Amino acid sequence: MAGYEALAERKPTRLKQKMRRFFGAWGVFFQGFVEHPVMVGSIIPSSRYTIRKMLRPVDWERCQLFVEYGPGVGTFCQPVLDRLPRDASLIVIDTNPLFIEYLNRTIHDSRFVAVHGSAEDVEEIVRAHGHEQADYVLSGLPFSTLPEGLGPRIAAATYRVIRPGGAFLTYQFSNAARNLTAQHFDRVDSGFEPLNILPCRLAWGWKRKPDAAASNG
Ligand SMILES: C[S@@+](CC[C@H](N)C(=O)[O-])C[C@H]1O[C@@H](n2cnc3c(N)ncnc32)[C@H](O)[C@@H]1O
């Protein structure tokens, strides 16, 4: 009886904590959208199905630096940290200080660095944190609503910062990110995730290794 009572006591508290955590992140995301609708581009974070499918082709054993653009409230951050080697790093870059402050408050992992800045400056940011290149770059940026010219500049900088053999991972409701990736990367694989609000298109842009380039003529 005492055990049951203790459990009954504990249940609502845990549920409340979970609910607070859940609505906390969504609340911050929604606030970010209301304040900067064009830059955020969505009112709901990505689903776990999108996260799983997007990260599947990553070779985690060979990943020393993973970069994410537009992490928002960190929907991808913990899943990436869960897969990342212990001596690797995750650098996330977002233009919205509200999101960076939220991430720094909620993610406590020595491999994690949250930078308030623009994806356009990825090369400088990566170097400032002691790295030459990134193995993978993941983007949640709303490419179709970004200011004119910014998308192509980000895609070009991303190609330069990724090591040969690495990849640029994008997910978006439209084909804008995939099309941009195709203009800058050597090979693009495409995917689709219906279990997301809204259903979204996934793309993996691969940077060819020099030996592969030579053997292809
Ligand atoms: C659709 S939200 C991504 C949300 C999150 N990654 C998810 O999967 O739920 C887009 C994010 O991109 C950020 N953003 C927009 N322009 C940016 C830029 N130039 N550099 C970095 N982040 C940017 C916004 O502040 C926002 O956090």
Cα separation, 137 vs 92, in Å, equals 10
Ligand 1 nearest atom to the CA of residue 72, by list position:
27
Write down the pLDDT at residue 215. 52
One-letter amino acid at 205 equals: G
Domain holding 52: CATH number?
Answer: 3.40.50.150
- Cβ–ligand 1 contact at 39 (below 6 Å): yes
User: Among the residues of the chain, which ranges form H helices?
Assistant: 2-35, 37-40, 48-55, 77-83, 97-106, 122-128, 150-161, 176-184, 210-215
Of 146, 195, 148, 204, nearest to 171 by C-alpha is: 204
The CA 97 to ligand 1 mean position distance, Å, reads 11
Residue with tokens 């985690």: 60
C-alpha neighbours within 13 Å on the C-beta side of residue 165? 10
Q: Which domain holds residue 140?
A: 2-215
Number of domains in the chain: 1
- Confidence category of residue 196, pLDDT binned at 50, 70, 90: confident
- Confidence category of residue 4, pLDDT binned at 50, 70, 90: very low
Write down the pLDDT at residue 118. 98
- Cβ–ligand 1 contact at 118 (below 6 Å): yes
Task: Give the pLDDT confidence of 113-167 residue by residue, as tens digits.
Answer: 999 999 999 999 999 999 999 999 999 999 988 999 999 999 999 999 999 999 9
Average pLDDT over residues 84-105: 96
Tokens representing residue 138 in the block:
């993941």
Of 43, 160, 147, nearest to 95 by C-alpha is: 147
3-state helix vs strand vs coil in the chain, percent to 5: 50, 20, 30
The residue contributing the CA closest to ligand 1 atom 26 is 40
- Cβ–ligand 1 contact at 77 (below 6 Å): no
Cα separation, 18 vs 183, in Å, equals 43
How high does pLDDT run on average in the chain?
Answer: 86
- Cβ–ligand 1 contact at 156 (below 6 Å): no
pLDDT exceeds 90 at position 195: no
Task: Give the pLDDT confidence of 5-30 residue by residue, as tens digits.
Answer: 333 344 445 554 454 456 667 667 66
The CA 40 to ligand 1 mean position distance, Å, reads 5
The CA 42 to ligand 1 mean position distance, Å, reads 9
The residue contributing the CA closest to ligand 1 atom 8 is 46
Question: CA-CA distances (angstroms) from residue 76 to 69, 148, 181?
Answer: 11, 27, 20
Average pLDDT over residues 179-201: 93
- Cβ–ligand 1 contact at 75 (below 6 Å): yes
User: What pairs with residue 202 in β-bridges?
Assistant: 171, 191
- Confidence category of residue 198, pLDDT binned at 50, 70, 90: confident
The residue contributing the CA closest to ligand 1 atom 14 is 70
Task: Give the pLDDT confidence of 64-89 residue by residue, as tens digits.
Answer: 999 999 999 999 999 999 999 999 99
Task: Give the pLDDT confidence of 26-65 residue by residue, as tens digits.
Answer: 667 666 666 776 566 666 778 999 999 999 999 999 999 9
